Amino acid sequence: MLLFVYGTLKEGGKYHCYLGEAALVAEHAMAKGTLYDTGMGYPAMVKAAQGEIQGQVYDIPEELWPAIDDLEGYAAQAETDLFDKQTTEVYVNGEVVETIVYVANAKGLLKEKVESGVWDVRVAQEQM
């Protein structure tokens, strides 16, 4: 299954190691939505018709999903999960690809809008 990553799971991000044997499908991809800085060293996104979020797409082997779900605070418990696991359309080289994406479930994550739609993994690591 394909996963769109836009924060700490991106190449160079502090949690990129969670992707293990995942294959990079697209180094440059774009999803519609709004990106927020959570103030906790990682971003959160909200899907929307407007706005662009830059990220990468990986093909994730089945055995990696439980660890990624845990990292993202996703346990299929809508009342308590930090993030929700949804499908979304992502644009890669002019084509539309359907992927999984983790979107903010806890509204308290949405601290400061990242106008550029790009989470800079280097800046985030310096803040930690």
For the segment 55-82, what is each residue's pLDDT rounded down to a tens digit? Answer: 999 999 999 999 999 999 999 999 999 9
Q: Which residues are catalytic?
A: 72
Q: What is residue 128's predicted lDDT score, i.e. its pLDDT? A: 45
Instruction: Please give the pLDDT value at position 13.
Output: 95
Q: Which residue has the tokens 């084509």?
A: 95
Q: CA–CA separation, 43 vs 110, rounded Å?
A: 8
- pLDDT at position 123 over 80: no
pTM of the model: 0.93
Q: Comparing C-alpha atoms, which of 19, 128, 120 is closest to residue 67?
A: 19
